[in-house]
Structure 1
């Protein structure tokens, strides 16, 4: 169970230079992935919402948001951030307390890494999502993993405790849970942590969303239904001759 010390450590990371830079890129990645999803009047559940950083982003994108977490300390932090803009529930992502198709979308962002049965969590997310699921994960195909996440590397207790995933593994797990549904992969932060800072040369390296699967943070969007573009291409208007007056 994540207690107040974990919350403080989490928020201290995102308040620092590297963490705040990483958070901006992670949000940019997620905004890119959900850009085609209709959002007005649509609902999203974030499983393992933590202190609510991404809940806030989804709310600002126009979604009605619900956050779920096992940690009361994390939910207290999310409540302080979100106020009455989100519903917050305590629960286990491997056994969601919601009926089938309860939400339009479900997000799991760096939460599978800390679950005992991540496959069950994906199956539950797909059960309660009517339209789509987005999964963000710590990428084992990255320099971030090579330098910070491997068991032989000195790292914080949180990184050492995490189960890192490859894009191939996440896709395979989603395919097992949902069948052959359309998936889209993107990643950010391909450089090592020392380059995660707001300096021009480092922004050129880390400040873009890539279709390549080698960034430290990656995400896959799974579309459960065919979703029409939010802004359809308008047909070209035919020219109309003016009607003579008189």
Structure 2
């Protein structure tokens, strides 16, 4: 999905509202938690579908050398305004990345699969260009947020981007990555368990929204896949005692 200039302004404006600000804070906190084991110095990170650079800016502040790619020129214009020369930005699609194999140390896809024509191809491309790890953030179809803002009810306007998005479930993301890399997730969590009216700066809301939940519960879920240092899925058989020479 390509966002035009009007949609980009609306997207940016939403994060200036109280619910949008709280959501962004909690989503960033979750992503920072998940990538905390990753090294940063001289490590290249590509964000696929970087949009206006809200998360790419976070990755840069945490120490990565960042690049971004997005199919929407207006989104990239907003990202350039936000990041200046700190990021290398290109127009392109998640399903066909213009990069060499293992060109980046890490690859992030944050709320990208929902808008891809072929999500499986996007994951395959992320695995292809990443050397050390892949981070996936997605909108959870089994959340209260989906029921209020994602599901198309007879009395709702079904033309908005969220209602036309392909929301994901935690098992779907797991299975899709397993199909490409054969690896189990290293860690997964979610945030924002309630509907948007609960994304407020009030005591009880802060308490509920400050917790990291299992990946199938919150509105926004994320999972880290480490491509190096993983144990094989089928352990190699080991001798209990050393074999004797015959």
Whether these two folds match at TM > 0.5 is yes
| Unaligned segments of structure 2, at least 5 residues | 231-246
Structure 2 partner of 1:7: 8
Structure 1 partner of 2:130: 129
Structure 2 partner of 1:99: 100
Normalising by structure 1, we get a TM-score of 0.89
Q: 1:225 to 1:181 in 2, by over 3 A?
A: farther
Q: 1:212 to 1:79 in 2, by over 3 A?
A: closer
Normalising by structure 2, we get a TM-score of 0.89
Count of aligned pairs: 227
Q: Is the 8 A contact 2:193 2:209 kept in 1?
A: yes
Output one character per residue of 1:81-105: Cα deviation in whole Å (capped at 9) or x when no partner. Answer: 0001111011111000000000000
SS class of match (2:9): helix
Q: Is the 8 A contact 1:22 1:189 kept in 2?
A: yes
Alignment pair present for 1:83 and 2:110: no
Structure 2 partner of 1:231: none
Structure 2 partner of 1:49: 50
Q: Give the deviation of 1:203 after TM superposition.
A: 0.7
Q: Give the deviation of 1:54 after TM superposition.
A: 0.3
Runs of 4+ in 1 over 6 A off after TM superposition: none
Output one character per residue of 1:60-100: Cα deviation in whole Å (capped at 9) or x when no partner. Answer: 11000001001100000000000011110111110000000
Q: Give the deviation of 1:212 after TM superposition.
A: 4.6
Structure 1 partner of 2:167: 164
1:155-194 maps to which residues of 2 (within 5 A)? 157-194=160-197
Structure 2 partner of 1:30: 31
CA distance in structure 2 between the partners assigned to 1:162 and 1:212 by the alignment? 19
Structure 2 partner of 1:154: 156
| Unaligned segments of structure 1, at least 5 residues | 228-246
Output one character per residue of 1:39-58: Cα deviation in whole Å (capped at 9) or x when no partner. Answer: 11101000000000000000
Q: How big is the alpha-carbon RMSD for the aligned residues of Structure 1 and Structure 2?
A: 1.3
CA distance in structure 1 between the partners assigned to 2:229 and 2:156 by the alignment? 45
